């Protein structure tokens, strides 16, 4: 990829993504395969006034070797220094950039139980840090850069080089880098999303009903005081930032105990190096009471059984079927992209910012208000070209929200 476009991408992430403040520290989590781009990001951050750029390298192949060969007991351990690493910079007000790029099926030979235990112990150790980010106490941004193994999965018929090049093109187009002023293009994009957000916030639906021919027939109650949001976030210090690039979704939280019916997945879900495909779940009073998966059943089971909150929903997000990423027709096997091509739900923790006054409430009050808590937050895609969503108001009045996969309203 040409250096000038990479620099433009990095500038966009630093300026609009985390919206770096003078003298702020930046922590970048990067796979070693994407080191080249992490360095470009690092330079861009210093050029824009960063105090220090700290890089948290990870190597998925070493991780796989560890999963395959290490004695079982280590998967219940998490080192204190690593927990302190994240917490230390968070306490100092750092901004976090995470490069999401993984081989979607790297861990398929690994015992899913090992992955589940390791994930659980890591999430538990880092709960305070993760809660901090999910409450926007620190600014954060998730982006992607191609790796060879990921690109080959997305474009199996192309040569390695062509596959990487094609994935780069798809990524850079989706984040609007090739516009003359990408930061401005994002401001306009935000305004477009705000039209849907404003409408949904005005309608104040008590319930949403999702239906399609895959078999989804799901009622989702929205808690009193729910807030639809999307496009951009505001940190608790008042700094605008963009948590995901790309982002095409508007989202809020379901009432933890107010979800009933069946939901069927519309795309594979990549979770911890495994693919979960053609899966469905049945909800009663918010809780998953039954589930199935044609592929990756054990991974799905591990995900749902992580803790008490992982069998409940924490997010409902709307994305038109006719949207830029969906229209590329590419299945990315990476949730950052696939979730922005499809309406989706998330298992696990809800964003307290989606409830009026939510960030000021304690654990018990949040639960009472219907805000789910969990060690996990995992989006999965349910949108299709024939999806219907009906909004139901407190007085029973019904309003079409989506017809044939797209907003029923035109703005
Ligand atoms: Zn989402
Ligand atoms: Zn989510």
Determine the distance separating the centroid of ligand 2 and the alpha carbon of 199, expressed in angstroms.
Answer: 21
What whole-number distance in Å separates Cα of residue 27 and Cα of residue 56? 7
In this predicted structure, the answer to whether residue 153 has a pLDDT above a threshold of 90 is yes
Burial bucket for residue 408 (CB in 10 Å: 0-12, 13-18, 19+): middle
Nearest to 139 by CA among 21, 260, 292, 247: 21
What whole-number distance in Å separates Cα of residue 265 and Cα of residue 210? 12
Q: What mean pLDDT is predicted for residues 334-344? A: 96
**What percent of the chain is modeled with pLDDT above 90?**
97
| Nearest listed ligand to the Cα of residue 229 | 1
pLDDT tier for residue 48 given thresholds of 50, 70 and 90: very high
The label of the residue with tokens 């999303």 reads 193
Q: What is the pLDDT at residue 411?
A: 77
In this predicted structure, the answer to whether residue 291 has a pLDDT above a threshold of 80 is yes
In this predicted structure, the answer to whether residue 376 has a pLDDT above a threshold of 80 is yes
What whole-number distance in Å separates Cα of residue 216 and Cα of residue 385? 13
In this predicted structure, the answer to whether residue 324 has a pLDDT above a threshold of 90 is no
**Residue 74 half-sphere exposure toward CB, CA atoms < 13 A:** 8
Nearest to 284 by CA among 189, 194, 219: 219
Determine the distance separating the centroid of ligand 1 and the alpha carbon of 319, expressed in angstroms.
Answer: 9
- Among 157-161, 234-238, 388-392, which is the least confidently predicted range? 234-238
Give the rounded distance of the alpha carbon of 377 from its chain centre.
Answer: 8
Determine the distance separating the centroid of ligand 1 and the alpha carbon of 66, expressed in angstroms.
Answer: 31
What whole-number distance in Å separates Cα of residue 97 and Cα of residue 223? 31
Determine the distance separating the centroid of ligand 1 and the alpha carbon of 315, expressed in angstroms.
Answer: 7
Decide if 272 contacts 244 (C-beta within 8 A). Answer: no
Q: What is the mean pLDDT of the chain?
A: 96
Non-local (6+) Cβ contacts of 229 within 8 A are 197, 250, 251, 252, 353, 354
Determine the distance separating the centroid of ligand 1 and the alpha carbon of 242, expressed in angstroms.
Answer: 13
pLDDT tier for residue 360 given thresholds of 50, 70 and 90: very high
Strand 25-31 versus strand 52-58 pairing type: parallel
pLDDT tier for residue 383 given thresholds of 50, 70 and 90: very high
Determine the distance separating the centroid of ligand 1 and the alpha carbon of 323, expressed in angstroms.
Answer: 15
**Can you give the pTM of this predicted structure?**
0.94
pLDDT in tens, 59-98: 999 999 999 999 999 999 999 999 999 999 999 999 999 9
| Nearest listed ligand to the Cα of residue 341 | 1
Q: What is the pLDDT at residue 88?
A: 97
Determine the distance separating the centroid of ligand 1 and the alpha carbon of 229, expressed in angstroms.
Answer: 10
Give the rounded distance of the alpha carbon of 85 from its chain centre.
Answer: 23
In this structure, how many other beta carbons lie within 10 angstroms of the beta carbon of residue 69? 7
Distance from first CA to last CA of the chain, Å, rounded?
37
Determine the distance separating the centroid of ligand 1 and the alpha carbon of 379, expressed in angstroms.
Answer: 6
Q: What mean pLDDT is predicted for residues 88-115? A: 96
Decide if 63 contacts 131 (C-beta within 8 A). Answer: no
**Residue 28 half-sphere exposure toward CB, CA atoms < 13 A:** 31
Determine the distance separating the centroid of ligand 1 and the alpha carbon of 393, expressed in angstroms.
Answer: 23
CA angle 289, 262, 215 (to 5 degrees): 145
In this predicted structure, the answer to whether residue 126 has a pLDDT above a threshold of 90 is yes
State the SS3 of the chain.
CCHHHHHHHHHHHHHHHCCCCCCCEEEEEEEHHHHHHHHHHHHHHHHCCCCEEEEEEECHHHHHHHHHHCCHHHHHCCCHHHHHHHHHHHHCCCEEEEECCCCCCCCCCCCHHHHHHHHHHHHHHCHHHHHHHHCCCCCEEEECCCCHHHHHHHCCCCCHHHHHHHHHHHHHHHCCCCCCCHHHHHHHHHHHHHHHHHHHHHHCCCEEEEECCCCCEEEEECCCCECCEECEEECCCCCEECCECCCCCEEECCCCCCEEEEEECCCCEEECCEEEEEEEEEEECCEEEEEEEEECHHHHHHHHCCCHHHHCEEEEEECCCCCHHHHCCCCCCCHHHHHHHCCEEEEECCCHHHECCHHHCCHHHHHHHCCCCCCCEEEEECCCCCCEEEEECCCCCEEEEEECCEECCCC
Determine the distance separating the centroid of ligand 1 and the alpha carbon of 245, expressed in angstroms.
Answer: 12
Determine the distance separating the centroid of ligand 2 and the alpha carbon of 351, expressed in angstroms.
Answer: 9
Structural domains of the chain, with CATH = 3-174 (3.40.1830.10), 193-406 (no CATH)
| Nearest listed ligand to the Cα of residue 337 | 1
In this structure, how many other beta carbons lie within 10 angstroms of the beta carbon of residue 80? 8
Q: What is the pLDDT at residue 410?
A: 84
Q: What mean pLDDT is predicted for residues 149-174? A: 97
Q: What mean pLDDT is predicted for residues 192-217? A: 97
Q: What mean pLDDT is predicted for residues 292-319? A: 97
In this predicted structure, the answer to whether residue 191 has a pLDDT above a threshold of 90 is yes
Buried b (16+ CB within 10 A) or exposed e, 142-157: bbbbbbebbbbbbbee
Determine the distance separating the centroid of ligand 1 and the alpha carbon of 90, expressed in angstroms.
Answer: 23
Q: What mean pLDDT is predicted for residues 214-230? A: 97
């Amino acid at each position: 990829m040409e250096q000038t476009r990479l620099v433009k991408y990095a500038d966009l992430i630093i300026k609009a993504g985390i919206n770096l403040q003078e003298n702020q520290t930046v922590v970048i989590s990067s796979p070693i395969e994407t080191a080249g781009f992490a360095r470009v990001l690092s330079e861009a951050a210093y050029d824009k006034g960063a105090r220090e750029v700290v890089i948290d390298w990870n190597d998925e192949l070493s991780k796989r070797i560890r999963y395959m060969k290490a004695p079982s007991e280590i998967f219940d351990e998490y080192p204190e220094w690593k927990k302190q690493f994240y917490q230390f910079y968070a306490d100092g007000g750092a901004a976090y950039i995470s490069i999401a790029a993984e081989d979607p099926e790297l861990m398929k030979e690994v015992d899913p139980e090992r992955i589940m235990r390791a994930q659980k112990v890591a999430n538990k150790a880092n709960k305070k840090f993760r809660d901090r980010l999910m409450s926007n106490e620190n600014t954060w941004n998730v982006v992607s850069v191609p790796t060879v193994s990921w690109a080959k999965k997305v474009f199996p018929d192309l040569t390695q080089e062509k596959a990487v090049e094609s994935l780069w093109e798809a990524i850079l187009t989706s984040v609007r880098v090739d516009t003359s002023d990408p930061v401005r293009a994002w401001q306009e994009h935000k305004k477009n999303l705000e039209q849907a957000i404003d409408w949904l916030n005005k309608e104040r639906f008590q319930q949403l009903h999702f239906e399609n021919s895959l078999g989804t027939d799901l009622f989702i109650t929205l808690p009193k005081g729910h807030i639809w949001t999307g496009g951009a976030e505001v940190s608790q210090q008042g700094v605008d930032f963009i948590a995901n690039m790309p982002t095409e979704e508007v989202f809020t939280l379901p009432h933890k105990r107010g979800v009933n019916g069946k939901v069927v997945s519309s795309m594979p879900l990549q979770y911890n190096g495994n693919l979960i495909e053609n899966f469905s779940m049945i909800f009663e009073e918010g809780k998953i009471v039954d589930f199935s998966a044609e592929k990756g059943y054990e991974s799905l089971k591990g995900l749902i059984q992580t803790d008490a909150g992982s069998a409940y929903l924490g997010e409902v997000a709307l994305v038109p079927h006719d949207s830029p990423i969906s229209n590329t027709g590419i299945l990315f096997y990476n949730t950052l992209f696939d979730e922005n091509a499809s309406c989706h739900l998330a298992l696990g923790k809800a964003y307290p910012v989606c409830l009026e006054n939510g960030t000021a409430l304690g654990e018990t009050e949040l639960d009472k208000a219907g805000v789910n808590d969990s060690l996990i937050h995992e989006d999965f895609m349910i949108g299709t070209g024939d999806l219907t969503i009906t909004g139901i108001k407190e007085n029973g009045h019904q309003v079409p929200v989506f017809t044939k996969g797209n907003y029923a309203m035109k703005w």
